[in-house]
């Protein structure tokens, strides 16, 4: 039922996590409960007495006592390339974990490893000008060409233009929804939703249970996930009161870079961007400005991943000369991954199957190999540099 394993213990963990999601309430409180008991299954098994001892109120205890794992969610998780990633699990994306108020769990349709890769959020008006739409396309294409993942919210306007341009350029994109992962919104983006859910090119992400329809306050809430997953947020066009400005504020609060594209003083959709620039956002006129500014952050991310995954243990024996040098040279997992790679493009799912490693570990190591110039990617597939 999960991306991690199909054994009984993982089924129990998944059902417990679904029950915690269904209970609702504060994400930090539920994350704390899981952390305190060492897992979702242990947290649920602690029962009302354990929950009260952990500091939960009568209202919270009552909500969890009556919550059940929704059948619709269980059925959805049985679908191909459908995943549930809990806050306490190693596949949970580190940038989001470090952001304010991270969600308890993420439903992911597509490739969950994209959530570990450097991404830029491209956001803006649902009713952009033709020039704004062109800017969204140009920025997204350039980000895709540079190897960055393009993230947005699948909304009409700027979001849609950014997603489509990324896919048309052969890039990878993440759509963060304010509905359940199986509910395209707006309905006009049903086909785009399906394209992004293809694990070869994208990932649909939601904290809401499958079947959840559009609710007004869910959309500002989902913006914190979009901001938290991304290295930076770029606002193309936005009025002075808009969801894009909420995303920009949340990105700033998460310690991420915020950029804005200026426009005509006569364009009401430029006023939000001008306000962001006055408040300290970076003024950018092309994607290259953003890419150059992000180089230090991406390098720092790579160093964090090297520290996490590149601890030397001992040399592996089955390593070809090409694999020597660079990140993780003495880590057997790197050599396992290197030997699983070929000279023909290989999909992430195949690499996970060949190596027996988690998708998050494979994604992180591939990122480092790309930065070292030893691996190239093409349309979400990976191969050794020639």
Q: What is the pLDDT of residues 302-331, one digit of tens each?
A: 665 555 554 332 223 333 334 334 445 456
Taking the C-alpha atoms of residue 328 and residue 276, their distance in angstroms, rounded to an integer, is: 41
Q: What is the pLDDT of residues 56-74, one digit of tens each?
A: 999 999 999 999 999 999 9
Domains and CATH numbers, the chain: 1-70 (no CATH), 112-295 (3.40.50.450), 310-384 (1.10.10.10)
**Other residues' Cβ atoms within 10 Å of the Cβ of residue 356:** 10
- Are 382 and 366 in contact, with CB atoms under 8 Å apart? yes
Find residue 85's DSSP bridge partners: 106
Q: Is the pLDDT of residue 277 over 70?
A: yes
Q: What is the pLDDT of residues 125-174, one digit of tens each?
A: 999 999 999 999 999 999 998 889 999 999 999 999 999 999 999 999 99
Among residues 353, 346, 332, 158, the alpha carbon closest in space to that of 236 is found at 158
Q: Is the pLDDT of residue 41 over 60?
A: yes
Taking the C-alpha atoms of residue 164 and residue 135, their distance in angstroms, rounded to an integer, is: 13
For the entire predicted model, the pTM comes to: 0.80
* Three-state DSSP class for residue 121: strand
Share of the chain above pLDDT 90, in %: 66
Among residues 152, 151, 156, 141, the alpha carbon closest in space to that of 189 is found at 156
């Amino acid at each position: 039922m999960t991306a991690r394993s199909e054994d009984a213990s993982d089924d129990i963990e998944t059902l417990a996590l679904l029950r915690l999601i269904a209970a609702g309430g504060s994400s930090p409180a539920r994350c704390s409960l899981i952390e305190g008991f060492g897992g979702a299954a242990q947290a649920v098994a602690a029962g009302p007495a354990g929950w009260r001892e952990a500091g939960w109120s009568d209202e919270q205890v009552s909500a969890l006592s009556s919550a059940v794992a929704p059948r619709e969610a269980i059925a959805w998780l049985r679908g191909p390339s459908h995943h549930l990633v809990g806050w306490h699990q190693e596949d949970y994306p580190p940038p989001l974990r470090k952001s304010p108020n991270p969600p308890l769990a993420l439903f992911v349709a597509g490739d969950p490893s994209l959530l570990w890769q450097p991404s830029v959020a491209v956001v803006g008006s649902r009713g952009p000008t033709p020039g704004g739409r062109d800017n969204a396309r140009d920025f997204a294409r350039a980000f895709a060409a540079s190897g960055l993942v393009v993230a947005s919210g699948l909304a009409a306007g700027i979001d849609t233009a950014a997603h489509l341009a990324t896919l048309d350029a052969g890039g990878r994109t993440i759509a963060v929804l304010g509905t359940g992962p199986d509910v395209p919104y707006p309905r006009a983006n049903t086909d785009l939703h399906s394209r992004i859910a293809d694990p070869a090119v994208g990932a649909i992400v939601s904290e809401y249970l499958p079947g959840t329809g559009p609710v007004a306050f869910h959309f500002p809430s989902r913006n914190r996930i979009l901001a938290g997953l991304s290295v930076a947020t770029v606002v193309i066009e936005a009025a002075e009161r808009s969801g894009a400005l909420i995303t920009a504020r949340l990105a700033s609060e998460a310690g991420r870079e915020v950029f804005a594209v200026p426009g005509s003083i006569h364009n009401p959709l430029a006023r939000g961007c001008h306000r962001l620039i006055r408040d300290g956002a970076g003024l950018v006129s092309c994607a290259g400005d953003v890419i150059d500014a992000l180089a230090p952050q991406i390098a720092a991310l790579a160093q964090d991943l090297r520290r996490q995954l590149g601890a030397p243990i001992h040399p592996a024996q089955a390593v070809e000369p090409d694999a020597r040098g660079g990140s993780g040279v003495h880590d057997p997992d790197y050599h396992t991954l290197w030997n699983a790679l070929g000279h023909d493009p290989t999909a992430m799912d195949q690499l996970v199957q060949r190596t027996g490693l988690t998708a998050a570990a494979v994604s992180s190591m591939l990122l480092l190999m790309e930065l070292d110039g030893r691996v190239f990617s093409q349309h979400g597939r990976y191969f050794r540099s020639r």
